[in-house]
Amino acid sequence: MRGIEANALSLAYGEALIIDNLDIKIPKGEITVFIGGNGCGKSTLLRLLARLLKPKSGSILLDGLMLNKMGTKDVAKQLAILPQGPDAPKGLSVLQLVKQGRYPHQNWLKQWSREDEEKVNKALEATQMTEYAEREVDSLSGGQRQRAWIAMVLAQDTDTILLDEPTTYLDMTHQIEILDLLFELNEKEKRTIVMVLHDLNLACRYAHNIVAVQDKKIFAQGKPEEVITCNLVKKVFKMECQITKDPLFGTPLCIPFGKGRCIAEVGASN
């Protein structure tokens, strides 16, 4: 199968089993979004799929090839990952960071090329980071820093892009811009995008395929319309909600219950 396929995957941190005998298929050329409560194992699963972590058991295939048998640079040419809360070395500029995305494409024969330069500039433009190129990553706001890291991942120019909470720290406008950018990369260039998102409603708008992770396993996987139900939200997020339709996109829209003001209360006080 093309895309990513993992079978009987398990991982433990010390004695604590976090991923338990899990099977997953990530379709090629689609956007897959992992959802689930805090600490359920989304980041661990994403890092396993990018080979940043070694499974306790099980296998992962990337386009039919055993991931653990591939060379490091070969993996990096096909798959880029933005981990959760990455740290840049002190004093590193945005440009230097983004240039690191080109590292897998270089060797002693092929030094820095015009193509590398173009990919870096394109990534800076796409994330609106060109004007910050000379700034130190450390000196940026949380949102600008996040965009700098996304630029690095884009510069790597891989068919598969894994992103762990790419919209965290971003204001609403930049959240939508980053998701639109990833959507466009998928639509126009058929890149496979796999990301962790916390916003269930944005996840439903952008995902072809939702993977709900819960209790070391996959609770459900499929199209947002098929997967997102009150029952899923109750089981996976321990929350009561109402599911309606996003008025713009027709995708599922989750309205959480809670103790906020309700219409009756607001009406009574007017």
Ligand X SMILES: Nc1ncnc2c1ncn2[C@@H]1O[C@H](COP(=O)(O)OP(=O)(O)O)[C@@H](O)[C@H]1O
Q: Which residues bind ligand X (CB under 6 A)?
A: 13, 18, 36, 38-44
Report the candidate in 214, 176, 182 with the shortest Cα–Cα distance to residue 195.
Answer: 182
Sort 84 into a burial class: Cβ within 10 Å, 0-12 / 13-18 / 19+.
middle
Distance CA 49, CA 86 (A): 17
User: Strand pairing partners for 35?
Assistant: 212
At a CB cut-off of 8 Å and minimum separation 6, what does 37 contact?
Answer: 214, 236, 237, 238
List phi, psi (to 5°) of 256.
-75, 145
| Interface segment toward Mg ion; rule CB under 5 A; list 81-89, 198-206, 244-252, 254-262 | 81-89
Distance CA 7, CA 22 (A): 6
Q: Kindly state whether residue 43 participates in binding Mg ion, applying the rule CB under 5 A.
A: yes
CB-nearer residue toward Mg ion: 84 or 128: 84
CB-nearer residue toward ligand X: 38 or 111: 38
CB-nearer residue toward ligand X: 46 or 129: 46
**At its nearest, how many Å lie between ligand X and the CB of residue 50?**
13
Please choose which of Mg ion, ligand X, none residue 127 contacts, taking the beta carbon within 5 to 8 angstroms, the exact cut-off set by kind. none
**At its nearest, how many Å lie between Mg ion and the CB of residue 84?**
5
Report the candidate in 77, 235, 100 with the shortest Cα–Cα distance to residue 160.
Answer: 77
**At its nearest, how many Å lie between ligand X and the CB of residue 21?**
16
| Interface segment toward Mg ion; rule CB under 5 A; list 43-51, 150-158, 209-217, 237-245 | 43-51
Please choose which of Mg ion, ligand X, none residue 107 contacts, taking the beta carbon within 5 to 8 angstroms, the exact cut-off set by kind. none
Distance CA 194, CA 31 (A): 6
Among 7, 21, 59, 84, binds Mg ion (CB under 5 A): 84
Query: How many CA within 13 A on the CB side of residue 55?
Result: 24
CB-nearer residue toward ligand X: 94 or 218: 218
**At its nearest, how many Å lie between Mg ion and the CB of residue 244?**
28
Q: Which residues bind Mg ion (CB under 5 A)?
A: 43, 84
